[in-house]
Amino acid sequence: MRWPTSLTRSLAFFRNNVDKLAPRKGDKVVVAMSGGVDSSVVAGLLSREDYDLSAIYMRNWDTRDESGTDNGCEWKKDYADVLRVCKLLDIPCKLVDLSREYWIRVFEPSLAAWESGVTPNPDVWCNREVKFGALMQHITSSTSWIATGHYARKGWSSSLPVPRPQLLRSSDPSKDQTYYLSAIPERSLSRTIFPLGAYTKTEVRQMAHRWELPTADRKESMGICFVGEKRKFEDFIAQYLPPNPGNITELGSGKVVGRHEGLWRFTIGQRARVMSMADKAFVARKDMRKNEIQVVLGTHNPALFSKAIAVKNWSWIWGDSPPPAISETRGMRARVQHRHRMSDVACTEIRTQTSTSSSTSLKTELRKDRLLHFGMESGVWDVARLTRSYSRGSQAVCILFTRTLIADMKPIWTAITD
């Protein structure tokens, strides 16, 4: 019997590179723990393997910068839960303070973006700059691994001489977090494992209860980490950004219908509560030059829909292998997701070049969909290949995936905008 060439090539690939694809017996594996049930179950799963296992808690935010005291700080409660879980599982644990790195690499750029009228995504930046950036530098060597509680999976290319990592969708679509992992560098992704990628949230909770983990019934954390869940975003940001009053006008007529205290208080597409308007008003435009919010009436107003996204200064996780179809005249037919919870819509990806810029841009042509705000992250599915990107500042974002014959999502490229 003669084996298919593709199968023998795949078998040879995995035989020659199996030691690089996943942790082996005795390998050093560090669990990044947050105090929540997900990372606790990751620690529980890996404690049943024969690894040199330890845990680390990453402190990102220093409340002394706000109040001058640590009293009542959430991170202390989180770290206490981490220590309780590690004690039960007999895993050594340490704390690393990355609040300075978070402030410089995530919070300050976010503030600058909000102040300019852009809506950034701090969670994406945190994953790239801190969790899979500064933290990786603290705890990993070329032979060690980091495990996280993200709902995602990872694969490896089997058609290349050297294995390269691929970011895959979670088995639980409702909890998939690859949207927020879009900016992970290739070098970090290659040394990361996602043990929860094959499980649903319900199964994770069941394991936590079965192992009697102290965090089994802990609620999920929501919102931006430095804002927390007990205070309003506007109240928090107001501590750092001074008011910058301007007009709220009706798009088209230019009629002044209200006032705002800063562009950062509004995101394109969100409802704007304007008492003087008869129907519900929604933000359609931000005029940074005039410091003006422009609104329209009704949820189906044409001004709330867009047919294209322009993304500038792309760099790719596989930096030397951008998807070739984007350079073709017809572009790459795909499907795009530009919000965390939404159904994907049809699009075409096309590389563009302007005479006034030396950088490469991508144009995402949509049939018609809700407006995207600057700084938003998007996901795009293609029948042939995958990419992912994220943006900083005023750039928009696109992420492309591959759909295989078994309806799996396999990434080939990841793109990041500067």
List active site positions.
126, 225
* 3-class DSSP assignment, residue 394: coil
Those residues whose C-beta lies under 8 Å from the C-beta of residue 95, and which sit 6 or more positions away, are 56, 57, 59, 79
**Parallel, antiparallel, or unpaired: how do β-strands 52-59 and 409-410 relate?**
unpaired
Which residue in 409, 7, 11 sits closest to 178, CA to CA? Answer: 409
- Identify any residues that bridge with 200 across adjacent strands, giving them in sequence order: none
Those residues whose C-beta lies under 8 Å from the C-beta of residue 181, and which sit 6 or more positions away, are 127, 132, 150, 152, 167
Cite the beta strand spans of 190-251 per DSSP E.
192-193, 246-250
Quick count: other Cβ atoms within 10 Å of Cβ 250?
A: 19
User: First CA to last CA across the chain, in angstroms?
Assistant: 52
Quick count: other Cβ atoms within 10 Å of Cβ 130?
A: 19
Contact 377, 395 (CB under 8 A): no
Half-sphere exposure of 258 (CA within 13 A, CB side): 19
Calpha distance 409→207 (Å, rounded): 26
- The angle formed by the CA atoms of residues 92, 93 and 99, to the nearest 5 degrees, is 165
For residue 132, count CB atoms less than 10 angstroms from its CB and return exposed for 0-12, middle for 13-18, buried for 19 or more.
buried
Which residue in 62, 61, 53, 63 sits closest to 85, CA to CA? Answer: 53
Calpha distance 98→85 (Å, rounded): 22
Those residues whose C-beta lies under 8 Å from the C-beta of residue 307, and which sit 6 or more positions away, are 365, 366, 367, 368, 369
- Identify any residues that bridge with 349 across adjacent strands, giving them in sequence order: 332, 364
* 3-class DSSP assignment, residue 28: strand
